[in-house]
Amino acid sequence: MKVGVITYPGSNCDDDAVYTLQETCGWQTDRLWHKDTPSLSEYKLLVLPGGFSYGDYLRCGAMAALSPIMENVKAFADAGGYVLGICNGFQVLCEAGLLPGALAKNDSLRFVCKDVDLKVETNDSPWTNFLKAGDTLSLPIAHGDGRYIIEESDFAQMRGRHQILLTYQNNPNGSAFDVAGVCNEKKNVFGLMPHPERASDLRSRNGMGVWRSIQSVLEKA
Amino acid sequence: MIADTQITDVALAKQLGLTAQEYDFICRKLERKPNYAELGICSAMYSEHCSYKSSKPHLRKLPTQGPRVLQGPGENAGAIDIGEGWAVIFKMESHNHPSFIEPYQGAATGVGGILRDVFTMGARPIASMNGLCFGSETNPVTHGLVRGVVKGIGDYGNCVGVPTVAGQTFFHPCYNGNNLVNAFTAGLVRHENIFRASASGVGNILVYAGAKTGRDGVHGATMASKEFSSEKEPERPTVQVGDPFTEKLLLEATLEAMQKGLIQSIQDMGAAGLTSSSFEMADRAKTGLHLNLDKIPSREHGMSAYELLLSESQERMLIVTQEDKFDGLKAVFDKWDLDAEIIGVITEGKKVTMTYKGETVVDMPVDLVANPPMAERPLSAPSDLKQLWFMDRNQLMVAPLQQKIDRLLDTINFADPTPLTQQYDSMVGNRTEGGTFDDAAVLRLREIKSKPLRLAFSTDCNPRICQLDPREGGRRAIVESALNLAVRGATPIGVTDCLNFGNPENPEVMWRFSESVEGIAEACEALKVPVVSGNVSLYNDTDSRPIYPTPMIGMVGLIEGEQKLPYSNFFGTELELAIIGNLEASLGGSQLAYQWFKRDCGQPAATDLPASQRMIKFLGQLAKKNMAYAAHDISEGGLVVAALEMAFRSPYPETGVEIQIPSRIEIDEVLFGETCPRVLLAYAPENRVEIETLCSRSAVKFNKIGNTTDKAKFKVTQGLAVLSDMSVSTVKETWQNKWKGFFN
Amino acid sequence: MRAKVEIFYKDSVFDPQGSTICQSLKRLGFHTVKEVRMGKVIDVELESSSPRAAQQELENMCKKLLANPVIESYKIILGETATT
Amino acid sequence: MRAKVEIFYKDSVFDPQGSTICQSLKRLGFHTVKEVRMGKVIDVELESSSPRAAQQELENMCKKLLANPVIESYKIILGETATT
Ligand SMILES: Nc1ncnc2c1ncn2[C@@H]1O[C@H](COP(=O)(O)OP(=O)(O)O)[C@@H](O)[C@H]1O
Ligand SMILES: [Mg+2]
């Protein structure tokens, strides 16, 4: 199974993602460069990693969302391809319009790095089918701009469609409705602020739940 | 013919910080007067910050050799062999003065500078630490400084993606008006990929790479060599603004170009910018250079040669390579959206010449600039040491124990640093293991597949001891750093130091400097750890009052093979506690002495170096047993603080401690003494025999001192007498809340 | 030609910076302060053929990059110079 | 009364954010853009007795809290309303 990790200028969790996908999950992992526009059809999964693309200048993820490769990523997602955005990758997906909502500065105005308890809202998704709805999942966060913003009506609709996958048990950043991770309507695009790739072998193995979930879907596909 | 449009004289030289003798020396060597740009070059390179003219003779006393040393002091950073063909590169550096003027940018650019020192050597940075000293918490400016410095460090390191994994923060009135920001970074590299900064190969080209040059920080090096005064506004060059995004690009571009064989040698442009990087590279290779300043990518109009040479714009590199590699090099930097321009060529003749706008603006021997005359600084022992050593032991003796404990803990120096440490990304890189911000951070080296290897990092310095007895202060900084590593099971393998002192023209400051360095040297020799890099920051005074001597130590340790990390907290409520080392310790220079007498006093007892070495070895062997135990070194605040910290970090809120002091033993000395080396150990009772046996085989002392309980109390008894019985959770709450105020 | 773009969070989005500044100002004794909103201002030097062209270009820049319509609103101000 | 304070880095201070945005705009095809400086704008609602009093209060706020005189300069604009 072949997966791709995109590097933007300023991405800094791309190595961590590659390490986890390749060494821990055992998937063949290619690095993709934001300026290139390769055919993505050979990939089962694309990962937009964490970091500070373009230094988080202007707005997190805004400039990366306009990278040349993003046209291809959009086409890939439109065709039903699986796309995961972690932390800065989540911000890029929102800025690119592949996920609803937006991410703003934490209400504490501070960067925060710690383990947080998440609630698995639903397992009716390719990203959480290995988990149990209602379970607690502890994953690390490390961000300064993780406050998810969404209108109440949109939230209600997304919730009804099982698009809200993860919420915080103790909201660390002021996210609306405690949202930590959401997917699009088709559920093939998922973004989350916590870092499953930092919790897949060393600090804990809690992140494996996400990888096992998507693996089962990709293997069937 | 040299352009002499601007004539210089002694008065101008003095304005730029040179002495009359230095100016005279320069004129004699040149056989003419230097022009303005040349004088600027000398003023920067002759400054204390660049020349080490006061400190160099003393630094020669530090042991820098050892079987693992691949690169000692003298390059951008030191290199230590860790086996399997890999090396760890590390260094610690100060950014004190810039951080006082503009805490956020000053601290940020400090982190940027140390990162560049490490990746210039070819290493990928994997961990950072910082040592911070601030003035009194009641000083109104302290809060702003703490907030700015912490945010600056965090924003820069987080953005580049290097985890900040450990550090030390110390508050004391002696830093009012002159706070310290010392930044440490370590990186990983294969032996064969270590790069050095030498301009060798006549005909090779010099390439400028990275961010464009502006007027920022012109004369930063000279500023770092002057004291602050609260009266007159210090000279303020334009503050340098850090750009961590460009730094990240520069890091990736540099490592990629190195890996593709496009770089022969490289140096970052740090203090004194292009001037120091070019002259130092030529000096190391005994070559000359010719530079064309018109080629420098600049972002401001109308910059003079002087400004181009002395700008301290951040995120820039000077690269040496063969001419035919330039296209490849440029392609790599283009890929990362960075400038790369040929600005010069390596020549014979140990001379640097520079042209600008068609004129020769600099024509100077390398040696004259790169090797300024050393300064002879007289030393004299302070006359008031005996007074400082006086401590009214009786007054303490008669006070009730609980009162002493309460006062001991009533300080910002006993506080949970979580509100600070959470602002640092401590996990990026996916190497950070276990609880970060313990005595030492531990990182697994995931890139090394042939053998499980981990590195441990710690930083330490106790300025009180350094003030009262600088030689002991130097020794203790080394031994405590080493113990911080050893309690996590790591073997110390290398040291970097950042020596922060006052004005070297003050003989008492210089005496303390010399003593500290000798103390560090003694301890390093005893523990067989070499010093491979470091930094000196002098002129840390305000209104002629020097800071306490602060030789901040950064130490690196190695853990080979699979072994479980020891706990650093009480991991159960039925553990036994033992002090490894002497039961009693001296109160001289202790936190209790300061808290009680409101001044640092008492004569610190000397660290027993052979005992320290045995203890480190013992801790290494204990860690290999794969037995569950917890270890924490006993330092500031003595046993009381060590035990409380271990209780606070227990996963069980009901965890308590009971300390039983044997009869006829001095209670204060057991509980509050800080003589080094002492370690607090917690273990399951069934393991006592094995630990005791190892202790006696290792010739270290084992003193059972109490146990953990499930009563959530901190209890001290002697015989039947209960001397203290306080609630752990109440103390913990205060401990947790102290730092929150800084960040609201 | 010089122009400025001001970008603020929409009123519906909580502005933690603004409210922190407001609190701090009150703590410092500035009691006349009622409300504070914090925004970005982008000062652009551009060589457009006419003010109308400039306006159009800036509109496009805002739509494409400078502002995020989900949470922000913007205002273009032509011809003003930045603070010096 | 409504007022605005604009805060920019002083001209002599490097503005990495502005220059990164400038490069991005150029890459996106906005070739007329020559330079970008990024600043903050603070929109304040205050109940001062007079415009003069307001001006004075805002000056004090800038000096005390809003601007960092070491690297920033500020400009007070009375009476304007923020974007909505
Ligand atoms: N400025 C700082 N930067 C990073 N880490 C810090 C800083 N200050 C304190 N820490 C971390 O917090 C931990 C606890 O601090 P402290 O209580 O002072 O240390 P100790 O365990 O030696 O008593 C330390 O191990 C250190 O790694
Ligand atoms: Mg310690």
Q: What is the ipTM of this complex?
A: 0.93
Q: Which of C35, C47, C83 sits opposite D75 (nearest CB)?
A: C83
Element (H, E) at B364: strand B359-365
B132 lines ligand 1 (CB under 6 A): yes
Please state the rounded mean pLDDT for residues B727-740.
Answer: 95
**Number of CB pairs < 8 Å for A and D?**
20
Report the pLDDT averaged over residues B204-226: 82
Q: Residue A10 gets which letter from DSSP? A: T
Q: How confident is the model at residue A93 (pLDDT cuts 50, 70, 90)?
A: very high
**pLDDT confidence of residue B544:** 80
Please state, for a pLDDT cut of 70, what percent of chain B lies above it: 96
The model's confidence at residue D20, banded by pLDDT at 50, 70 and 90, is very high
Q: Which atom of ligand 1 is nearest to the CA of B641?
A: 23
The predicted structure's pLDDT at residue B1: 55
Q: Tell me: pLDDT of C75 over 50.
A: yes
Q: What percent of chain B has pLDDT over 90?
A: 91
Q: In D, which residues are within 8 Å of C6 by CB distance?
A: 41, 82-83
In single-letter form, the type of residue at position B565 comes to L
What are the two backbone dihedrals, phi and then psi, of residue B707, each rounded to the nearest 5 degrees?
-160, 165
Q: Is A113 on the interface with B (CB under 8 A)?
A: yes
* Chain B residue with Cα closest to D71: B239
With CB atoms and an 8 Å threshold, state whether D16 touches B101: no
C neighbours by CB contacts (3+ pairs under 8 Å)? A, D
In the numeric block, which tokens belong to residue B71? 């690169």
Per-residue pLDDT at B216:
85
pLDDT higher than threshold 60 for residue A19: yes
Q: Whose CA is nearest to atom 3 of ligand 1?
A: B167
pLDDT value, residue B270? 86
Atom 20 of ligand 1: nearest residue by CA position = B439
B524: pLDDT strictly greater than 60: yes
Please give the Cα distance from A185 to A188 (Å, whole number).
8
User: Which among B720, B715, B591 is positioned nearest to B643, based on CA atoms?
Assistant: B715
Cβ-defined contact of C61 to D25 (cutoff 8 Å): yes
Mean pLDDT over C9-29 rounds to 95
**Under 8 Å between Cβ of D32 and C47:** yes
Does residue A154 carry a pLDDT above 50?
yes
Nearest CA to ligand 1 atom 21: B439
pLDDT digits (tens, 9 = 90+) for B329-360: 999 999 999 999 999 999 999 999 999 999 99
Task: Tell me whether A58 touches chain D (CB under 8 Å).
Answer: yes
Q: Give the per-residue pLDDT at B271.
A: 85
Nearest-ligand number for the alpha carbon of B132: 1
Helices (H), B345-461: 366-370, 385-389, 393-398, 401-409, 418-421
The answer to whether A48 contacts chain D (CB < 8 Å) is: no
Interface contact A35, partner D, CB < 8 A: no
pLDDT tens per residue, range A32-78: 999 999 999 999 999 999 999 999 999 999 999 999 999 999 999 99
Residue B263's closest CA among B125, B124, B123, B122? B122
Q: Which of B58, B95, B97, B632 is catalytic?
A: B95
Enumerate neighbours of D (3 or more CB pairs within 8 A): A, B, C
CB contacts, 8 Å: B105 with chain D? 71
Structure tokens at A57: 């200048």
Q: Is B325 an interface residue toward A (CB < 8 Å)?
A: no
Q: Is B742 touching ligand 1 by the criterion CB < 6 Å?
A: no
* Closest ligand 1 atom number to CA of residue B131: 1
- Cα distance between residue B424 and residue B440, in whole Å: 16
User: For position B543, what pLDDT does the model report?
Assistant: 78
Q: Which of A13, A60, A87, A94 is catalytic?
A: A87
pLDDT of residue B407: 97
| Contact between chains at C16 and A105 (C-beta distance less than 8 A) | yes
Give the model's pLDDT for residue B234.
44
Structure tokens at D83: 């974007």
The residue among B590, B603, B601, B677 whose CA lies nearest residue B641 is B590
Residues in C closer than 8 angstroms to A95, CB to CB, are 68
Q: Residue B220: which pLDDT band, with cuts at 50, 70 and 90? A: low
**Nearest ligand to residue B422 Cα:** 1
Under the banding of pLDDT at 50, 70 and 90, the label for residue A105 is very high
Q: B238-288: per-residue pLDDT in tens?
A: 788 999 999 999 999 999 999 999 999 999 998 889 999 999 999 999 999
A55 touches chain D (CB under 8 A): yes
User: Two tokens at A221?
Assistant: 């596909």
Is the CB of A13 less than 8 angstroms away from the CB of B161? yes
Confidence band, pLDDT 50/70/90 cuts, at residue B221: low
Residues B565-579, mean pLDDT to the nearest whole number: 96
| Ligand 1 atom nearest to CA at B437 | 27
* For ligand 1, atom 4: residue with the closest CA: B167
Sheet-wide strand order for C72-78: C72-78, C2-9, C33-46, D33-46, D2-9, D72-78
A contact chains, 3+ CB pairs < 8 A = B, C, D
Instruction: Name the 3-class secondary structure at B87.
Output: strand
Q: Answer whether D28 sits within 8 Å of A66, measured CB to CB.
A: yes
* Confidence at residue B329, expressed as pLDDT on a 0 to 100 scale: 98
Q: How far is CA B354 from CA B4, B266, B365, in A?
A: 14, 19, 12
Chain D residue set in contact with A, beta carbons under 8 Å: 16-17, 20-21, 24, 28, 38
Mean confidence (pLDDT) of chain B: 94
Catalytic, out of A95, A121, A143, A197? A197
For residue B226, what pLDDT band results from cuts at 50, 70 and 90? Answer: low
Q: How far is the CA of C4 from the centre of ligand 1 (A)?
A: 45
Cα–Cα distance between B134 and B550 in angstroms, integer?
12
pLDDT for residue C57 is more than 60 = yes
- What is the band of B4 on the pLDDT scale with cuts at 50, 70, 90? low
Q: Find the mean pLDDT for residues B185-210.
A: 95
Task: Tell me what pLDDT residue B232 has.
Answer: 46
Angstrom distance (rounded) from CA B372 to CA B374:
6
Residue B414 sits at φ, ψ, to 5 deg, of: -115, 90
Do residues B486 and B616 lie in contact, with contact meaning Cβ atoms separated by under 8 Å?
A: yes
Structure tokens at B708: 């953990």
Q: Which residues contact B496 (CB under 8 A, 6 or more apart)?
A: B77, B78, B90, B91, B92, B184, B531, B532, B533, B534, B535, B553, B554, B555
Cα within 13 Å of Cα(D69), Cβ side: 8
Residues 6+ apart with CB under 8 A from B730: none
- Ligand 1 near B277 CB (within 6 A): no
**What is the Cβ-side half-sphere exposure of residue B112, based on CA atoms within 13 angstroms?**
33
Does the annotation count A197 as an active-site position? yes
Minimal Cα–Cα distance from D12 to chain B, Å? Answer: 7
Pocket test for ligand 1, best of B421, B422, B481, B634 (most atoms within 8 A of CB): B421
- Contact at CB, B243 and D16, closer than 8 angstroms: yes
Q: What phi, psi does B612 have (nearest 5°)?
A: -65, -45
Count of CB atoms situated within 10 Å of the CB of B334: 12
Which of A62, A105, A174 minimises the CB distance to C65?
Answer: A62
**pLDDT value at residue B629:** 97
How far B239 CA lies from chain D's nearest CA (Å)? 7
pLDDT (average), residues B636-657: 97
The residue whose CA has the least distance to atom 10 of ligand 1 is B167
SS3 B665: coil
pLDDT of residue D11: 87
Report whether residue B203 contacts ligand 1, using a CB cutoff of 6 Å.
Answer: no
Ligand nearest to the CA of B742: 1
Q: Which chain A residues are closer than 8 Å to C20 by Cβ?
A: 109
- Which of A46, A51, A48, A2 lies closest to A27 in space, CA to CA? A2
What is the residue-averaged pLDDT of chain A? 97
Which one of A8, A11, A12, A13 makes the best mutation probe of the B interface by having the most chain B beta carbons within 10 Å? Answer: A12
Quick one: how far is CA B417 from the chain centroid? 18
B171, B437, B439: residue to mutate for ligand 1 pocket, most atoms within 8 A of CB: B437
Cα–Cα distances (Å) from B271 to B104, B315, B352, B555, D73, in that order, read 18, 12, 19, 24, 27
The yes-or-no answer on residue B49 being catalytic is: yes
Active-site hit among B49, B58, B172, B219: B49
Q: Once rounded to an integer, what is the mean pLDDT over residues B14-28?
A: 93
Q: What is the pLDDT of residues C29-52, one digit of tens each?
A: 999 999 999 999 999 999 999 999
With residues binned 3-state (H G I as helix, E B as strand, rest as coil), the percentages for chain D, rounded to 5, are 35, 35, 30
Quick one: pLDDT band at residue B222, thresholds 50, 70, 90? Answer: low
Give the C-alpha separation, B279 to B354, whole Å.
12
How many A from CA of A51 to the centre of ligand 1?
A: 25
> From the CB of B421, is ligand 1 less than 6 Å away?
yes
pLDDT at B239: 83
User: For the ranges B146-155, B210-219, B584-593, which has the lowest average pLDDT?
Assistant: B210-219
Q: In Å, how far is B37's CA from the nearest CA of chain D?
A: 21
Q: Give dist(CA B6, CA B13) in Å, integer.
A: 13
**Interface contact C20-A63, CB threshold 8 A:** no
| 8 A C-beta contact, residue B108 and residue B156 | yes
